[in-house]
Structure 1
Amino acid sequence: MGPEACVNGSMRARLDAAQAHENNRETDSMKRSTGSSDKDLPLREDIRFLGRLLGDVLREQEGEAAFETVETIRQTAVRFRREDDRKAATELDRLLKKLNRDQTTSVVRAFSYFSHLANIAEDQHHNRRRRAHALAGSPPQAGSLTRALQALGEAGLSSGDVREFLSTALIMPVLTAHPTEVQRKSILDAEREIARLLAAREQPMTARERERNTLHLRGCVTTLWQTRMIRENRLAVADEIENALSYYDATFLKEIPALYLDLDEDLDTLLPAGRSRKKNAPAKTLAPFFQMGSWIGGDRDGNPNVTADTFLYASRQQSTVVLSYYLEEVHAMGAELSMSTLLVDASEELLAMAAASPDTSEHRSDEPYRRALTGVYARLAATCRALTGRDATRHPVGEAPPYADAAAFAADIRVIMASLERHHAAALAHTRVAALARAIDVFGFHLASLDLRQSSDIHEAVISELLATAGVEANYAALPEADKLALLLRELAQPRLLTSPFITYSAQTTSELSILRTVREARKRHGAALARNYIISHTETLSDLVEVMLLLKEGGMLHGCFGAGQRDTSMDLMVIPLFETIEDLRNAPVIMQSLLDLPGFDAIIRHQGGEQEVMLGYSDSNKDGGFLTSNWELYKAELALVECFTQRKIKLRMFHGRGGTVGRGGGPTYQAILSQPPGTVNGQLRLTEQGEIISSKFANRDIGRRNLETVIAATLEASLLPTRNAPQDLGKFETVMQALSDHAFAAYRNLVYETPGFKDYFFATTPITEIADLNLGSRPASRKLVDKEKRRIEDLRAIPWGFSWGQCRLLLPGWYGFGTAVQQWLKEAGGEKMQQARVRTLRTMYKQWPFFANLLSNMDMVLSKTDLAVASRYAELCEDKALRKRVFTRMSAEWQLTSDMLALITGRSERLADNPLLARSIQNRFAYLDPLNHLQVELLKRFRAGGPDSSDDRVRRAIHLSINGIAAGLRNSG
């Protein structure tokens, strides 16, 4: 049944009554967006419009009583939050407590979906505002490629300089699976359609068109309401793979090639050519410096569900997606390129392609481009069948051999493009054909580089077993580090393998070896770019790296004997350490120095193009040492690594393991990259994109383009203009930061790891247990599954740790310890004059040092999302009153102190004073988050009480729905 049929007479009347308002709103929407002082008016109208549709759907689906209940709660919450009506707070509490189970579920669903719809409206408003600025001829905004190129031009760089720089650069966002991802793909698909329909309302419409659009939107909202928001079963890795791949069709496959073409053009229009370029000489095609990466299907750390079969499935699915895209593009080009040799010539190479085509129809005998593309399509279809086992949707005209690799396919497309350019059809060559050529350069037949990741303790266990069964060493794990290294290096120098086909190994060892062998074969099929990196979690010693080198040898991916004097040694995968904890970050420079100095590793580096990657973890370092210390130790580790690599003249690429929430390295990407220490970017950057952050950044194509552009712009500025904002007193500032970090570390560790009962408080007052039970991802919430009595903060994964603090609206990992750190440092100065001098130093740091400014900006955003009143409701879940008072009082005091110290430094007491749009957005959301938070607390009480509610699926489902809604409302909470 179509959405029109769902509309009854009364609904039709309501739509008609609202139509005049909609007509007026949308006729002059762009005018208001550019000219009105109230630039957020269209946003508020969109939110009201979508909210009204949701209300109509709720009334139709659940009845008038349910609608009235939700509407009363909404109005009361708005009155409480926006008008500071304390009576409304009491009334809201009363309304929520008296809801029965079914009413509770309806209310939670309504407010959760409202959060989702508000996100869509905000994204549309961001697109609207950017378009309004472009139409008005406003100066390019910070974070745009246009502004970055202007800045490079102002610094004296030429187009040739930037092209040469990009020829050796690598920028790669890496999509990772996320144990707190709350979106189902079916929900994402419906929301994409709502976004599309909402965007269409910006264009002039007739009354009939606008009505039809409204009906379709209402149909999509109905789909949302009638679709299960959460999963009944735990998400499988295959589901995570499919979810991630959906963003390629939505954004990446179209926008990344378009971004290359725009950058190519802008380099020559916004920058001087430079002395090395002759006037009117054609620009050299940009190297494929911007690519995509993925962990989904190769990340085994803590996830027993990722196996060799999983990796094989991921590689085939990736290939299916990109080949399907190529097939559609080639088919479309065949329809477009109808040029006849009776009217225009074609190149000899193009004519040869046409002659070799299986298309022998006399009707196309004079249309060489079509016949050539028919042959290309046939070869692509054969390639698809060979790599994925699947036939093309449209069957080819005839048989043709598959392409040997993506380069052969690209060569054919460039023949077509060159022929068009030489025969007066450059306009056609520079649109779809050029975009496809760029796509092949970037995506190949593999789509994205699929990293492997495993924990160092697993590697040690596998190596121990292999050495023992081969009769080399009975107890490798017990050896001192020096003896381990000596043994590993001896084995790497041996031409023989440790493994034997006649020995039965443990399931773990068999699985690890099987994955490596599968990767080797997959690289042969899909191209070497399919898998290039092996990440080692919990890298604590040099042997952790060398163990993986030995495993690569066993898997057939280390070639030649490793050792001094060996010049032909190479590895198919780069071995990359992941330094995560505070201690690991401090040890990182020494470990990397030892690795680079290993006799024979110079040959490995040479085969890797003179570069080596290091990954830094934001999540575990934060859980280990708190927000301030984590950021500072990351900063110091980067500087020390740069020095280490510079001395050896080896290129360093940093891989930043950033999460969504600020406590895990989140926050605005542009500022994050610009605030990196000088010399640490240098055109080499990989960074993770996770969970709901992937959705918020890339589900909407226009938003996705902006986020991709921002990464490139920031990398260019950080690499080529590293001293533009470098403070003169950097050494002094760094000394201050070390003192602040020491105090913050002590405060954080004292609360989290040294306060008796804190672990019990955390598990009682956050929904961490319910999050672990929620079917959010394929990975367990804890690395070690232990019973209630043995559970520890140390064993908990950092992602659920941060996610749980977001749910209870404390967001503790993003701010705790800063206030005490500043207060203690000021007290150490002694007298009032000395303290005032230190305050001035902090203010100067804030104004002059991008690292410190970004740190405070991110903390400001986190503080703006915290709510102690709501958090106090969660504190009541702790039955130990003394523990509750002791812990919550400390956290509340630290929050206030942190807010005060932040205001002291910035000179602004209100939150997000320099970002009023975000401040209003967050404030507007609170009114709709409050009911969800209050209901979540009530539901947790019922669920944990041990009565009938503890076994009622409706209560459990409502808790999970509330988790979804709160995460959607906070946006960057995972």
Structure 2
Amino acid sequence: MTDTYPPTSAITIIQAPRNLEIPDALRSDVRLLGELLGRVLIETGGKDLLDDVERLRSLTIAAYENEDTAAFEDAEALVTSFSPERAEEVARAFTCYFHLVNLAEERHRVRVLQGRNPEPGEDVGASFTSTMNALVDELGEDGAQKMLDGLEFRPVLTAHPTEARRRAVASSIRRISELIATNDDPRLGEDVQAETKRTLLAEINVLFRTAPLRSTRPTPLDEVRTAMNIFDQTLFEAMPRIYRLIDDRLTGKAAGTLPPRSHSFVRFGSWIGADRDGNPNVTAKITRQAAAIQSEHVLLGLEHAASRVGRMLTLDAGDTAPSPELLQLWQRQRSLADELTSEIATRSPNEPHRRVVLMIAERIAATRGRNADLAYAGPDDLLDDLRTVQDSLVAAGDKRSAYGEVQGLIWQVETFGFHLAELEVRQHSKVHRQALDELDRGVQPSEMTDEVLDVFRTIGALQSRYGVNAARRYIISFTQEVDDIANVHRLARYAFGDGETPVLDVIPLFETFNDLKNAPAILEKMIELPEVAKRLDETDRRLEVMLGYSDSSKDVGPVSATLTLYEAQDAIARWAERHSIRLTLFHGRGGAMGRGGGPANEAVLSQPPGSVDGRFKLTEQGEVIFAQYGNPTIALRHLEQIASATLLASSPSNGELNASAATTFADMAQVMDAASRERFYELVHAEGFAPWFAEVTPQEEVGLLPLGSRPARRGLSVESLEDLRAIPWVFSWSQARINLAGWFGLGTALKAVGDREQLQKAYREWPLFTTMIDNVQMSLAKTDARIAARYLQLGNRDDLAALVLDEMERTREWVLAATGSTELLDNRAVLQRAVRLRTPYVDALSLLQLRALRTLRGAATQETETTIDQARNLLLLSVNGVAAGLQNTG
């Protein structure tokens, strides 16, 4: 068969920079995908398109590798010379590159995890076995098991608009991912390999030809359905696997024949379709629909799982006798549906366990279809039936079936219930005050107030239909006084009048610098509220408090925010201990460094003593959801690392380490706090800073991207940063290759300390400082001073531009001084490689974005409407590509 495509040597769109060491398997994947993308470019736009892409790629690589100023200027000139149509095609080509190289790296990570043979610099983190061994050494067998029994991890999926790609693109990427995995199988024959590569080429063709930008803003229900893809493809099957993995490691050869040592410690939450703070598109009706969609997916999953388990239990009663309780269960099932059970019995002769489980599957189906005669009242009833089956199998001597497939199904029901993820309502404290003002004055309630009250009725309805755990948490944004908590309970009473209000766990969210400082005093008054005191009695004194990372960072800068968050957690943990409260701190972390991002397992280990205590809860959003949970192998590793870190963080030795370090470096922290905050205020409090920020970044244009259902800012003005949400604040700085939200002020803080030996000692011995420095290394590694300078020139404020660039250079210098390294990320070889692999290609997109921004900034007097539309479209395409290249957008 003749290959009609050009020789592969002419196709080099994806190629690693020459001085970059890449494992052979990863390099092979990158080369293959590059060849296929090159062919697609030729087929789509001709050899001229590939040549233009290649010229720009070569120039940006030369500029990056050799710090070649002439090559950088030539790259700028080339971008300027493109026609509008060519500029868009080139932007899409580089965006495709990022999607493909991300997949190649994901595949390599899976390869490493499955082989457990990490390359040099590959950090696969602590295994659960090593964690439990360490805890046994410290606490003994009973103490370690007690900690494991109390383990809780609560990831909360949010719809914050940081996932820049549309769902059609995400689906195409997932298909390509599966083909890359297939191509990695060494057992493939020549014909299958050829077919796989042909299909890969077809899928990459679809990816390139699919419009990367959404034409309309997604609705909240679109966001719910996107999250369901992760559940369907990964999470439902992954959860019993993580529990099984842990149990296997703890039980050894006896695994599967003993009651599991690992309980179902993960419970998912979701703000998608429930978080209405600043999002008028999320209504009570939407929340009800979101719950129905979630329930449909989980019940369908449970039905299929139960059917599969039932079909497998072909155990003859002569060898595996049913217990009396199992026979009683079968009789109860027969009384519910005699005809259906007769049919099942005919298909399962002398197989009592199979009959019962197949009927359980039918009852789950009836629950989904709302058939009142057969439906389960709730997940507890289903669990009772499954445990009856399990106990019967154990009594009959078949422990492998009991603690194998049946246990897996039990874990799934325990994890997901009939609701999949608890919907957590969030609303701004100001909205509650406005609604109560109307209600207390006895005026005709406005539409807003009616909606507020309907939310409480919706919570009650969801609890009645799906169980209390389907929706009982109510989060108050910008909690500033105890009345903000009391107001939620007052509104619930208004909503139900003389009727019984639903179960509510009201969670204060402390976000700003002052609110974090005042948190213990507010909590002291909170537990005196009758409704809160009653819930403490009902829940064994459990209480949840949420901490906002992003607004505190925008408020006082990343250094002061980090230190203040630590102090707040420490103070809240001490307060909780005094009141015998079982505290869960809820971390409102984002994907980017400016919003508390970074490796979660390292962040857990740097928490104050007593603030974790076996329980960890955090928000997972946007691209982070897909990065952590999109691939089953990576999801398992992520969950194992979080579980390990949560247990280790709760050990006395880790608490003592953090407490000792906080005391040792307290004076240093004070110096850093004051110096960094002063520097941050010098920038953000400068006259005209907010409009300048909007000029030098694509902040206004980011608001045009239909990323999510939530508006980009709370008001219409950009005159004040208070009106701007934290996400576009971080997103915009990252697009400008400045990443200011993640590092600004740290250089000044470190220089104020001044003692390099002291800084290196802190980096070795103070976990909070280590985590801060490593996160800033990641943030700085994705900056580029040359490109940043060109963005900053757009604002015609040399003073502010110089302030930013000076602090960038100072931070880079002093971070290297603190780590004792010569290059950023020298201690993170794999991450360093990933950044270097992408940077020249991100540079190309940044130059295209700058071209568009310059046109738009001068558009008022110089450009035609057509030119403005073309520039705006190019800018939005480049935003999409840079987000894919940087991998953490907001």
**Is residue 933–residue 966 contact of structure 1 (8 Å, CA) maintained in 2?**
yes
From 708, 716, 723, give the equivalent of 1:795.
Answer: 723
**Is residue 195–residue 700 contact of structure 1 (8 Å, CA) maintained in 2?**
no
The answer on 1:963 being equivalent to 2:879 is yes
The superposition leaves residues 54-108 of structure 1 with CA deviations (integer Å, 9 ceiling, x where unpaired) of 1111221222222222122222222222243333222211211111111111111
The answer on 1:331 being equivalent to 2:302 is no
Say if 1:452 and 1:416 are closer, same or farther in 2 by CA, change over 3 A. same
Aligned to 2:843: 930
The answer on 1:526 being equivalent to 2:510 is no
The answer on 1:307 being equivalent to 2:283 is yes
- Partners of 1:912 and 1:817 in 2: CA distance: 20
Following superposition, the deviation at residue 38 of structure 1 comes to: 6.3
Give the alignment's Cα RMSD to 1 decimal.
2.8
From 25, 36, 39, give the equivalent of 1:53.
Answer: 36
**Is residue 187–residue 224 contact of structure 1 (8 Å, CA) maintained in 2?**
yes
Instruction: After TM superposition, list the pairs within 5 Å mapping 1:753-792 onto structure 2.
Output: 753=685, 755-786=686-717, 791-792=719-720
**Is residue 539–residue 579 contact of structure 1 (8 Å, CA) maintained in 2?**
yes
Following superposition, the deviation at residue 852 of structure 1 comes to: 0.9
From 674, 681, 702, give the equivalent of 1:742.
Answer: 674
Say if 1:120 and 1:807 are closer, same or farther in 2 by CA, change over 3 A. same
- Give the letter for the 2:792 counterpart: A
Say if 1:51 and 1:16 are closer, same or farther in 2 by CA, change over 3 A. closer
- Partners of 1:376 and 1:283 in 2: CA distance: 22
- Partners of 2:143 and 2:248 in 1: CA distance: 15
- Partners of 1:17 and 1:731 in 2: CA distance: 61
The answer on 1:364 being equivalent to 2:348 is yes
From 390, 403, 411, give the equivalent of 2:376.
Answer: 403
The answer on 1:189 being equivalent to 2:102 is no
Listed as ranges, the gaps of 5+ residues in structure 2 are 12-19, 335-339
Aligned to 1:917: 830
- Give the letter for the 1:708 counterpart: L
Following superposition, the deviation at residue 15 of structure 1 comes to: 8.5
- Partners of 1:658 and 1:469 in 2: CA distance: 40
**Is residue 661–residue 766 contact of structure 2 (8 Å, CA) maintained in 1?**
no
The answer on 1:655 being equivalent to 2:586 is yes
Instruction: After TM superposition, list the pairs within 5 Å mapping 1:111-150 onto structure 2.
Output: 111-133=94-116, 141-150=124-133
- Partners of 2:605 and 2:847 in 1: CA distance: 39
The superposition leaves residues 710-744 of structure 1 with CA deviations (integer Å, 9 ceiling, x where unpaired) of 11111000012424634746323122202210111
Say if 1:557 and 1:890 are closer, same or farther in 2 by CA, change over 3 A. farther
- Partners of 2:497 and 2:476 in 1: CA distance: 16
Say if 1:352 and 1:958 are closer, same or farther in 2 by CA, change over 3 A. farther
Say if 1:167 and 1:549 are closer, same or farther in 2 by CA, change over 3 A. farther
From 776, 779, 784, give the equivalent of 1:867.
Answer: 784
Say if 1:763 and 1:969 are closer, same or farther in 2 by CA, change over 3 A. same
SS state at 1:219 partner? helix
Following superposition, the deviation at residue 824 of structure 1 comes to: 3.1
- Partners of 1:281 and 1:425 in 2: CA distance: 8
The superposition leaves residues 830-889 of structure 1 with CA deviations (integer Å, 9 ceiling, x where unpaired) of xxxxxxxx44332222211101111111111111111110111212322x3xx1x11111
- Partners of 2:230 and 2:815 in 1: CA distance: 38
- Partners of 2:588 and 2:288 in 1: CA distance: 25
- Partners of 2:552 and 2:4 in 1: CA distance: 54
From 410, 419, 435, give the equivalent of 1:437.
Answer: 410
- Give the letter for the 1:116 counterpart: H
SS state at 1:722 partner? helix
Q: Which moved more, 1:92-101 or 1:595-604?
A: 595-604
Say if 1:954 and 1:422 are closer, same or farther in 2 by CA, change over 3 A. farther
- Give the letter for the 1:441 counterpart: E
Following superposition, the deviation at residue 936 of structure 1 comes to: 0.5
- Partners of 1:289 and 1:451 in 2: CA distance: 19
Following superposition, the deviation at residue 430 of structure 1 comes to: 3.5
Q: Which moved more, 1:104-113 or 1:168-177?
A: 168-177
TM-score by length of 2: 0.93
Following superposition, the deviation at residue 571 of structure 1 comes to: 6.5
SS state at 2:370 partner? helix
Following superposition, the deviation at residue 383 of structure 1 comes to: 0.2
Say if 1:419 and 1:193 are closer, same or farther in 2 by CA, change over 3 A. farther
**Is residue 559–residue 571 contact of structure 1 (8 Å, CA) maintained in 2?**
no
Say if 1:139 and 1:694 are closer, same or farther in 2 by CA, change over 3 A. closer
SS state at 2:888 partner? coil
The answer on 1:810 being equivalent to 2:738 is yes
Aligned to 2:215: 232
Following superposition, the deviation at residue 702 of structure 1 comes to: 1.2
**Is residue 664–residue 802 contact of structure 1 (8 Å, CA) maintained in 2?**
yes
The answer on 1:508 being equivalent to 2:439 is no
**Is residue 760–residue 818 contact of structure 2 (8 Å, CA) maintained in 1?**
yes
Say if 1:812 and 1:611 are closer, same or farther in 2 by CA, change over 3 A. same
The superposition leaves residues 323-363 of structure 1 with CA deviations (integer Å, 9 ceiling, x where unpaired) of 11111112222332233446653334444455535142435
- Give the letter for the 2:480 counterpart: E
From 526, 530, 535, give the equivalent of 2:475.
Answer: 535
- Give the letter for the 1:611 counterpart: R
**Is residue 73–residue 92 contact of structure 1 (8 Å, CA) maintained in 2?**
yes
- Partners of 2:530 and 2:361 in 1: CA distance: 50
TM-score by length of 1: 0.85
The answer on 1:585 being equivalent to 2:516 is yes
**Is residue 78–residue 927 contact of structure 1 (8 Å, CA) maintained in 2?**
yes
Say if 1:269 and 1:382 are closer, same or farther in 2 by CA, change over 3 A. same
- Partners of 1:267 and 1:142 in 2: CA distance: 18
- Partners of 2:109 and 2:578 in 1: CA distance: 45
**Is residue 161–residue 707 contact of structure 2 (8 Å, CA) maintained in 1?**
yes
- Give the letter for the 1:518 counterpart: T
SS state at 2:657 partner? coil
SS state at 1:555 partner? helix
SS state at 2:738 partner? coil
Following superposition, the deviation at residue 628 of structure 1 comes to: 0.4
SS state at 1:360 partner? helix
**Is residue 147–residue 647 contact of structure 2 (8 Å, CA) maintained in 1?**
no
- Give the letter for the 2:111 counterpart: R
Aligned to 2:264: 288
Instruction: After TM superposition, list the pairs within 5 Å mapping 1:459-858 onto structure 2.
Output: 459-469=432-442, 504-556=444-496, 572-598=503-529, 601-720=532-651, 721-723=653-655, 725-726=657-658, 728=660, 730-753=662-685, 755-786=686-717, 791-826=719-754, 838-858=755-775
Q: Which moved more, 1:459-468 or 1:286-295?
A: 286-295
**Is residue 819–residue 898 contact of structure 1 (8 Å, CA) maintained in 2?**
yes
Q: How many residues align?
A: 869
- Partners of 1:334 and 1:542 in 2: CA distance: 52
From 388, 391, 399, give the equivalent of 1:415.
Answer: 388
Aligned to 2:856: 943
- Give the letter for the 2:847 counterpart: H
- Give the letter for the 1:813 counterpart: A
- Partners of 1:303 and 1:968 in 2: CA distance: 25
- Partners of 1:90 and 1:938 in 2: CA distance: 13
SS state at 1:725 partner? helix
Following superposition, the deviation at residue 941 of structure 1 comes to: 2.1
- Give the letter for the 1:872 counterpart: A
- Give the letter for the 2:208 counterpart: W
Taking only the aligned residue pairs, the percentage that are identical comes to 34
- Partners of 1:506 and 1:543 in 2: CA distance: 22
Aligned to 1:892: 805
Following superposition, the deviation at residue 14 of structure 1 comes to: 5.7
**Is residue 166–residue 286 contact of structure 1 (8 Å, CA) maintained in 2?**
yes
SS state at 1:652 partner? strand
- Partners of 2:33 and 2:439 in 1: CA distance: 61
**Is residue 520–residue 556 contact of structure 1 (8 Å, CA) maintained in 2?**
no
- Give the letter for the 1:864 counterpart: A
**Is residue 260–residue 403 contact of structure 2 (8 Å, CA) maintained in 1?**
no
Aligned to 1:171: 153
